[in-house]
Structure 1
Amino acid sequence: MNIRVVVADDQEMVRSGFAMILNAQADIEVVGEASDGAEAVELARRLQPDVVLADIRMPRLDGLEVTRLLADTMRVVVVTTFDLDEYVYAALRNGACGFLLKDAGPALLVEAVRAAVSGDTLISPSVTVRLLKHITKPSGRPPSLPESLTERETDVLRLVARGKTNADIAAELFIALGTVKTHVASLQRKLDVRNRTAVAAWAWENGLVA
């Protein structure tokens, strides 16, 4: 079944761009577009989508209030141009299932929607690194890696922790994008964590990143 999405943004070009990217996916369908927060809430309650993409700054109701009103019954991913910590914390406190910068690129937009449906939280990599610096403290002990991690997986682990996207990692390590995805999935399994953010948190907490 298709993942049904409502896109809320006060800029028509942004809405159209997101809709074009998402509708190009075989498993995703944009079922509605809203130009302000109040319309987004009304539309979402009527259409009952799987995911709502909500901009932070919108007329009538902002994306944080939209998130607060909808998060109990559906998954909301906040998308914004404003890379401010207070927005990130407020969005997550209000129940957002993701926080994405608009310049994160099409691949992360699609990944954020799919992650939300699967119960994961995806945060833009650059934001993730900054958050981790605030919420994790180095243990002071030497890094301790699971024996099952390969050298290449360790390379990928460090780059994920530094906020690199899959495309960035593929370019830096001269490997295929699909290989990066395989390594990230393997890291999640071996470290017994649920998502990419948790992989990065593990690396920071265990002293793999200075």
Structure 2
Amino acid sequence: MEALNSLNAAQSFAVGDITNLQQLSEFDTSEWADGLPADFPVLRCPIATDGANFLPTGAIRYEMNIACLPANDLPVMTMLLQLNDVQIYWLADFTDPEVRAAYDKWKEAGRLPVLLDFNQSKKRDCTLCVAEISRERLEFEDLHGFKKNAPADYVWKIMTTIADSGLLQHVAVSVLPDFPLERMLVNLLATKRVEPFIKGRSHGAKPNASFPSS
């Protein structure tokens, strides 16, 4: 497979975060969020202006996969969303209390809302989808053999090293058989624990949401 291109050419990774459904003005009337409480966590990804053109519009198929990438005894959680021929990754420290709290809610519901947050100059302010995920317990959740109290700067360094290495692009495989991969965007997940190392990359807008057809 040829090397995949990043959606954001200006940097090797973006910084996503966790917001909640009550921050989205259309949440109350969205069938996507039916049955989910207002404080339910949403996984967010910023999309730069030069990246928005690569994302699909119209009929969109998507799939969400969650796994663990062991790195120097640290459980780096990988959350992968594929939208047609585009993959979006979030890397997170699975020992982080914020990450675990959100993950537990997603697993209990079997659903994971994802917000793609576009540059405000774009007509597509943002897109929300709610992917189904397995409720089965995954092996890495027990944290056997992993460091549980690694320093925050060490965690950030490991995640940035993975993001900068091109490893994810190199091993990427489409999870939608009818769609060969064309682009990928890698996010590091911002939490209070790693916030001091983000250096202005945080994306805190709270725009309106549009909901794609399934």
What TM-score range do you get, normalising by the shorter chain? under 0.3
TM-score (norm: length of structure 2): 0.27
**Which is bigger in relative contact order (C-alpha 8 A, separation at least 6)?**
2
- Whichever of the two has the greater Rg, that structure is 1
TM-score (norm: length of structure 1): 0.27
Greater fraction strand:
2
Greater fraction helix:
1
